[in-house]
Chains A and B, each alone.
Chain A
Amino acid sequence: MELYSLTIHEISDKIKSKEVTIREVLDSIYSRIDDIETKVNAYINLTKEYAYIRADKLQKKLNDGEDIGILGGVPIAIKDNICIKDVKTTCGSKMLENFVSPYDATVIERLESLGAIIIGKTNMDEFAMGSSTESSYFKKTVNPWDITKVPGGSSGGSAASVSSDMAFASLGSDTGGSIRQPASYCSTVGMKPTYGLVSRFGLVAFASSLDQIGPFTKDVTDMAIMLNSIVGHDDKDTTSVNLNKIDYTKYLINDVKDITIGVPIEFLKEGLNPEVKKAFDSSIDKLVEHGAKVIDVNLDYIKYSLATYYIIATAEASSNLGRYDGIKYGYRTDKFEDLLDLYKKSRTEGFGEEVKRRIMLGTYVLSSGYYDAYYKKAQKVRTLIINDFKRVFESCDIIAIPTAPNTAFKIGAKTTNPLEMYLEDIYTVPVNMAGLPGISIPCGFDSNNMPIGLQFIASAFEEKKLLQAAYTFEQNTEFHKMKPNI
């Protein structure tokens, strides 16, 4: 077995027992990247030189008998909207094509303090707006399971890199499903933690009340390790919560007898692909077989999540993206007549279609005369959605729902009608509206051998329940062991 195909917990054991050197691990991962990246296009930028310098330093520490951390020497990929000092952070946009971050995001500081080696920045939909990674200015990432299909998005590069063994784990960001949906399409584990659990300092803002950083991993054990590494209070992010530190690996428990799972059956009656439904139903049966109690739950307002999301997310985006004015940093047009012309031309030339569409929509819902009808109304419906979840979590520990209504679609199939693309987020968006944690794990394949994801949702800061249910499912199935033939 090649080193690149191992999990974090397997490779760290080999590094720490000195069965392999950190250089050998890096050689393995970069040769894998050399072999298949021209097909997959998961990365925007590799940080090879810097990775080898870190590898040698960490190896020396290890040889001197020092602790190199739980991620000591493990190669990890980072979505290109998370800042790394002295490395480009493009957000998949022409606007930030040459932006070099002067500082590290808090999650990068944390990962590096625990010995991780950042090997590159991954491709994404421009400013994380999209569900297929097709709106990137630089390239189109493909799905390692079928290179004619999309990897999902917006964190498509992060999902594809882990799925095709070009990284041991990666970080993405999730505003409406951008970690869980590509995890589902590419057959990896992906988690969106509770809003406030992971610092957003250094994450380029899209919709600040919804954005959250989270990991992609090859299995649930690695997910617990990654969570342990990135969770924690940060005074640089005022929305970061200060809780007692939890060791998430303690919740890798192969038992669901004490867990009640709620299934929103009514919500799943329309628009769900029959093959996804079949895989979902047999996953629930599997959990019942292992002792879980399953109940039917009603989330009355969940069907309004998508509408609410596209008002709130675009409103916040139009405000956040106001900073790209061609003055302080980012793209500036060559020819302009005055300041206003400079603003307009820089933004028109620097942003892609989907970003412009969302900025304009957000501006519309916030504009005079429409604010109450759209934005304020959406904020009220958001309250109803939050209350819905609160009520349901009085009768169950977690909610189970498919991650996406379909498996990965063909490249180009949904680019002409944005609404069709938005519908792929129907099962992931409600979680962001309520700020809850959600995990997607591999739970099957359709008749074309395309992966299907199972999503668990818990109440705020109950990631441990997600891990317990996900771990039990994983330990009693083989889906996570399947690899794409690429």
Chain B
Amino acid sequence: MSISREEIKHIANLSRINVEDNMVDKYAETLSNIVDMANEISKLNTDDVKPTAHILENVNVFRKDEVKPSYSRDRILENAPTKESGCISLPKVVE
């Protein structure tokens, strides 16, 4: 398999997703199959080809710096799981 058990654990951690021990093999197998399929592009010679990040040729699209009404704080906070004194609250980060 092109992706090992160790790599699955590493990617899961980077992705901030928990993968149960009994699921690691399954993920390794499925992701390896997809990566093997994707690997067919490795045989193409792309030495002199520029990468495309975006099909449009726009660079630095600016708009006028105008003051406009934004959304109300209360409205935005309605979607927050927990809030306190007009702020989103979260567990203590710094001891």
Contacts and interface: CB of A to CB of B under 8 A. Distances in A.
A299 to B, nearest CB: 14
B1 interface: no
B15 A381 contact: no
A373 B42 contact: yes
B17 interface: yes
Contacts of A374: 35, 38
B51 A379 contact: yes
B67 interface: no
Contact of A343 (B16, B44, B49, B53): B16
A386 interface: yes
A340 B92 CA distance: 11
B71 A103 contact: yes
Interface in A286-343: 301, 304, 306-308, 310-311, 318, 325-332, 336, 338-340, 342-343
Interface in A81-139: 98-100, 102-103
B76 A102 contact: yes
Interface in A437-452: none
A336 B79 contact: no
A interface secondary structure, majority? helix
Contact of A359 (B17, B44, B76): B17
Given A307-B39, A364-B11, A239 B58 contact: yes
B84 interface: no
Given A360-B11, A364-B35, A377-B41, A328 B18 contact: no
Interface in B45-65: 46, 49-56, 58, 61, 63
Nearest to A306: B37
Contact of B46 (A195, A307, A380, A435): A380
A363 interface: yes
B55 A307 contact: no
A357 interface: yes
A384 B46 contact: yes
Interface string A340-370: 1011110110010000110111011101000
A307 B90 contact: no
Interface string B1-43: 0010001101110111110000000010011011101111110
Contact of B51 (A103, A325, A380): A380
Given A304-B44, A379-B51, A383-B50, A332 B56 contact: no
Interface string A364-396: 110100000110111111111010000000000
A46 interface: no
B79 A360 contact: no
Contact of A383 (B30, B40, B52, B82): B52
Interface residues of A, number: 66
A273 interface: no
A131 B10 CA distance: 28
A142 B87 CA distance: 43
B71 A304 contact: no
Size range of the chain B interface in the assembly: 35 or more
Contacts of A66: none
B41 A241 contact: no
A420 to B, nearest CB: 10
User: Which of B46, B50, B88 has most chain A Cβ within 10 Å?
Assistant: B46
A328 B17 CA distance: 18
Contacts of B30: 357, 418
User: Which of B31, B39, B55 has most chain A Cβ within 10 Å?
Assistant: B55
Contacts of A238: 58, 61
Contact of B15 (A98, A100, A327, A363): A363
B15 A382 contact: no
B30 to A, nearest CB: 6
Contacts of B3: 364
A310 B42 CA distance: 14
A310 B54 CA distance: 16
A348 B27 CA distance: 14
Nearest to B91: A339
Interface of A: 98-100, 102-103, 195-196, 209, 235, 238-239, 241, 301, 304, 306-308, 310-311, 318, 325-332, 336, 338-340, 342-345, 347-348, 351, 356-357, 359-361, 363-365, 367, 373-374, 376-384, 386, 418-419, 422, 434-435, 460
18 contacts: A238-B58, A307-B41, A326-B81, A328-B80, A339-B93, A344-B18, A361-B34, A364-B11, A380-B50, A380-B52, A381-B41, A381-B49, A382-B51, A384-B46, A384-B49, A418-B33, A418-B34, A435-B55
**6 closest A-B pairs by CB:** A435-B55, A379-B51, A329-B79, A332-B81, A380-B46, A238-B61
